[in-house]
Amino acid sequence: MEALGRHILVEFYNCSPELMNDVVHIEKSMVEAAETAGATVINSTFHHFSPYGVSGVVVIQESHLAIHTWPEFGYAAVDLFTCGDSVNPWVSYQFLEKAFQASHGSSMECRRGQMGLLDRKDFNIDALRNVSAKPYDHPVKFTRDVWFTERDENIALSLKHDGQLYKKESPFQKVEVFATQAYGNMLTLDGMVMCTQKDEYVYHEMITHVPMLSHGRVKRALVIGGGDGGTVRELLRHPDLEEVVLVEIDALVIEACKLHLPETASAFDHPKLKLLVEDGIKYIKECGDNAFDLIIVDSADPVGPGEGLFTAEFYKEVYRCLTADGIMVTQSESPRFNTEVFVEIYDCYKGIFGKDNVHCYLAAIPTYPTGTWSFSFSSKGNSHPLVFDRETAAEFSRKNDLNYYNEEIHAAAFALPNFVKQLLNKK
């Protein structure tokens, strides 16, 4: 061979956009492309970016294969670099062209390390390695390093995972579940993290028990969204509740969580639960006056099917559906990250419920942007979140072996940092 290595620069065009955004498929294809060419795979590292795009590299004993994709263009840029003459990188090229369903590709081969330009150096190889280790006597062990990344304009959250457990597209959104190594199974909607097995209890305990124990007399509760099941699971811990109505627009969210987050979706068969797979906005419009003591809007971010839940018209209808002393609770975004939406939400609630009846409280959720998440507490009557029976709350927390909520957290959650207070008072 006249060079140390062969480097093929590849561009694949008109690939399947779906496949170009599928980190599991791409990682599997790149590894198989290397193995098909006769390479020895050492490890792989791949990242999925939200909302789309994959980057990754497969390290082989003979060098590497690397890729970055642009699903919106059906395009992939690939580097195939092999050293020596034992591996033919063109075999990998042909394999990937089929795996990515590309209509065509273009390529350029470079010979790296032209032998005519190199001089062999004399050196003591034993000085560069531990001679007692005998590294070549051990078989190469392939290790995977695949990452899901939710990336926004300025920040990103990456979680290492062992593969994708669920992937389906509904008329509303893409529903996926990944088996993360740090947080267990994770539900994502359109590439955004919704909940994980390890920390979902923070969100679900705080969105339910704060209003339930502040009100103290809730008989009927309505949940809009919340198809993962965690909110109704927590509500149904309260024995005095007579009925919980859950309105979830997307049946696939329920299906995915029943299959892969069963601890979260454990209450779907509860006799007090009425489950409706339909549009929550439509349900609220058709709901009678004074129908519920508590309404929880357990929505995703203000995009996709949840976008219509972030309007004054919707919250006016919620107000109408509440009893005279009813409470509405919503997730209200990150005050640090989604500042503009956060401010707009509270201005909207204050205009409907009155300034003195709207309160903000916080919780620490590691897998949400910035780790600080907010909830709103809006009262139609005289219920106040800091006027509650602490002994009852303490006993409830102990009896149900809760992981986050207790009487002290209930009160402390309403102690806001100065920057949040300033946002809430901003005109």
Which residues are catalytic, by number?
63, 68, 83, 298
Q: Which two tokens stand for residue 138?
A: 């051990």
Binding residues are 173, 204, 228, 248, 279-280, 298-301, 305
Reported for 61-68, long-range contacts at CB under 8 A and 24+ positions apart, including other chains, are 61/140, 62/86, 62/87, 63/5, 65/30, 65/33, 65/34, 65/92, 67/26, 67/30
227: phi then psi, degrees, rounded to nearest 5: -65, -10
d(CA 177, CA 63): 33
d(CA 289, CA 298): 21
d(CA 307, CA 300): 8
Question: In sequence order, what are the residues at sequence separation of 6 or more whose Cβ sits closer than 8 angstroms to the Cβ of residue 70?
Answer: 20, 53, 76
Question: In sequence order, what are the residues at sequence separation of 6 or more whose Cβ sits closer than 8 angstroms to the Cβ of residue 94?
Answer: none
251: phi then psi, degrees, rounded to nearest 5: -65, -25
Binding residues for S-methyl-5'-thioadenosine are 173, 248, 279-280, 305
Contact call for residues 42 and 1 (beta carbons, < 8 A): no
- Strand-pair partners of 109: 8
Q: Please list the alpha-helical segments (H only) found in 303-389.
A: 312-321, 339-353
Question: In sequence order, what are the residues at sequence separation of 6 or more whose Cβ sits closer than 8 angstroms to the Cβ of residue 317?
Answer: 284, 285, 287
